[in-house]
Amino acid sequence: MLNALRDTLRDSANSDDDRMGSPLAAVLSHAICHLKRADSTTTNNNEAVTSSSSFGRVVIVAMTVDFGTEHSPLMNLFFSAAKHGICVDVVSLVESSPLLQQAADITGGIFLQVEQPSRLLSSMMTHLLGDPSSRSLFPHPTLKEVDYRASCACHHELVSSGWVCSVCLSVLCQFMPICKACGAIFKVNTLLPRKVQKRKRRE
């Protein structure tokens, strides 16, 4: 069984097919739903109340920086988690991901960079074991700068400025008549303004 699991992970890592692997947005949405369900307790009057001492927390162990077309869904989930008081901690085993940096910064979590996989367990127990309310009492790693550049939906590259789809709010690095993310069609004005020719002065 372990050999089969190892072969599956190796094939998924070496494949360029986006359908292979586990989409992070779907997993994160399930986690948020389960946390909100567990956060509500039922009283004797069958009324749902929220415990003030309860908190939600999600830990993402990242082994890649490329999330393909999941940028927009993940950003929506990060803002939703912050609204519901759910903390998202990130442990990155590869180079730093701007998207996951934003996740930790938006939700008040910790972004932890682990260069050696052998130190993964000790690093998580040291920095992520305590609940978010008591983290201010202990030293923990903080991000000096957070890269808030968006990833374009057409080439999946970070851009500082670009075009935004008015339907799905996806970012495009260049103008396209059809949105790559949702397929929305935009009308293009074919009437170009005429260039005004300056009259030459007679000498």
Does residue 2 fall inside a structural domain?
no
**164: in domain:** yes
Instruction: Look at residue 53 in the predicted model and tell me its pLDDT.
Output: 42
Q: Is residue 84 part of a domain?
A: yes
Look at residue 113 and tell me if it is in a domain. yes
Q: Based on the domain organization, do 61 and 133 belong to the same domain?
A: yes
- Let me know whether 59 and 133 are in one domain: yes
Query: Based on the domain organization, do 69 and 121 belong to the same domain?
Result: yes
Q: What is the pLDDT of residue 49?
A: 45
Are residues 89 and 163 located together in one domain of the fold? no
* Domain contains 133: yes
In this predicted structure, what is the pLDDT of residue 202?
Answer: 62
CATH number of the domain where residue 114 is located: 3.40.50.410
Q: Do residues 130 and 153 both lie within one domain?
A: no
Looking at residue 143, its pLDDT comes to 77
Q: Is residue 162 part of a domain?
A: yes
- Sequential pLDDT tens for the chain (203 residues): 556 656 665 666 666 555 555 678 888 999 999 888 887 753 334 444 444 444 688 999 888 787 777 888 888 899 999 998 899 999 988 888 888 999 999 998 889 888 887 888 888 888 888 777 777 777 777 777 888 888 887 777 888 888 888 888 788 888 888 888 788 888 766 555 555 566 666 65
Same domain for 115 and 62? yes
- Residue 50 has a pLDDT of 43
Kindly report each contact of residues 51-57 with a partner whose C-beta sits within 8 Å and lies 24 or more positions away, as own/partner. 55/85, 55/86, 55/87, 55/131, 55/132, 55/133, 56/32, 56/81, 56/84, 56/85, 56/86, 56/87, 57/86, 57/87, 57/88, 57/89, 57/109, 57/131, 57/132
The reported pTM is 0.68
pLDDT at position 43 is: 35
Looking at residue 65, its pLDDT comes to: 80
Please check whether residues 69 and 99 belong to one and the same domain. Answer: yes
Q: What per-residue confidence (pLDDT) applies to 81? A: 92
Residue range of the domain that includes 156: 149-188
Structural domain includes residue 157:
yes
Tally of structural domains, the chain: 2
State the number of CA atoms in the 13 A half-sphere of 150 facing the CB. 19
